[in-house]
Amino acid sequence: MEYRTLGESDLSVSVITFGAWAAGGWMWGGTERQGAIDAIKASYDLGVTSIDTAPVYGQGTSEEIVGEAIKGIPRDKVQILTKYGMRWDLAKGDFGFKSQDNSGNPIDVYKYSGKESIIKECEDSLKRLGTDYIDLYQMHWPDVTTPIEESMEAVLRLIEQGKVRQAGVSNYNVDQMKQAEKVLKLASNQVPFSMINRGIENELVPYCIENKKAILAYSPMERGLLTGKIKPGHTFAEGDHRAGYRFFKEENIEHTDEFLQKIKPLADSKGASLSQLVIRWTIERPGITVALVGARNAEQAVQNAKAIDISLSAEDIDFINQQLEELELV
């Protein structure tokens, strides 16, 4: 495995980080708890020491699974990345969206990051995770109802108390990052990035490179689309959010599949799967520090971790980029 330091912090993480959104089941058509635990353990055995989760993933389920999976591992050998600022149990702040929990009960999700809420969320996360500190604590989504400075002051207190090591944000733009930095030093920003979703390269990536901020790329597999396993006509399970997600429009599935078939011979020549080629390409992109990759079982987790074994030459990367330029999505 390879490891990189987040920005100018003292926190080193595995470049392939376990993304535990799907492990929580919520919005992914349910979860198989033991499978998720096995996936995290299998990842760790191959050097994936960093795990990214959030309270809202399964309304506590994902954090509980992570806590169970890391039991018995020396705490300083694993990095826990979690978040705050999305409440399903409190109608306060900026209304996000209507959803349902893993039992099918309706819930309303709010973006709220008031000071007292963050303190409570941190305590709840520590309990679910079975630990006394969080390595990277990230604002999940911007909350327009709370001044950014107030939220960051709460995190600063948590750092002073030893409950949080480093502060990060997620889904922030450049101006929001600058505002947050008036209060504390950010280690990172976690944002969506994939071969077919590269909007952050315009402003955010140059800013983060110049200011030594790490970028944690989430959904690098574009929620499974770039694995090559989702073909035109695919049917999603009930409760799977991808059915209404723009990249899964039939036409986009077709065009993406055509692109993947063009780069498949390159993957084959390296004895790699398409997924492994995509992961390796992602962590080679300028400014991208880490790729967050999820897995539902140990086998998937092992395949993801082994992407680190692939070597891409400048010519390989140029070839992939050339095929991407010809890809048109609606």
What whole-number distance in Å separates Cα of residue 283 and Cα of residue 299? 21
Backbone angles phi, psi at 187, to 5 degrees: -90, -30
Residue 28 clears pLDDT 70, i.e. is over it: no
pTM of the entire predicted model? 0.94
pLDDT single digits (tens) 41-73: 999 999 999 999 999 999 999 999 999 999 999
Residue 255 clears pLDDT 70, i.e. is over it: yes
pLDDT band at 30, cuts 50/70/90?
Answer: low
Residues 6+ apart with CB under 8 A from 100: 106, 107, 239
Q: What was the pLDDT predicted at 31?
A: 62
Q: Which domains does the chain have, with CATH numbers?
A: 3-224+274-310 (3.20.20.100)
Q: What was the pLDDT predicted at 103?
A: 83
**Residue 215 in contact with residue 193, Cβ under 8 Å?**
yes
pLDDT band at 26, cuts 50/70/90?
Answer: low
Q: What was the pLDDT predicted at 32?
A: 81
What whole-number distance in Å separates Cα of residue 288 and Cα of residue 188? 11
Residue 27 clears pLDDT 70, i.e. is over it: no
pLDDT mean over 149-169: 98
Mean pLDDT of the residues in the chain: 95
pLDDT band at 119, cuts 50/70/90?
Answer: very high
Q: Which of the following is catalytic: 44, 57, 84, 110? A: 57
Q: What was the pLDDT predicted at 241?
A: 79
Q: What was the pLDDT predicted at 29?
A: 61
pLDDT mean over 123-140: 98
pLDDT mean over 206-216: 98
pLDDT mean over 182-188: 98
242 DSSP 8-state letter: G
Catalytic site residue 57? Answer: yes
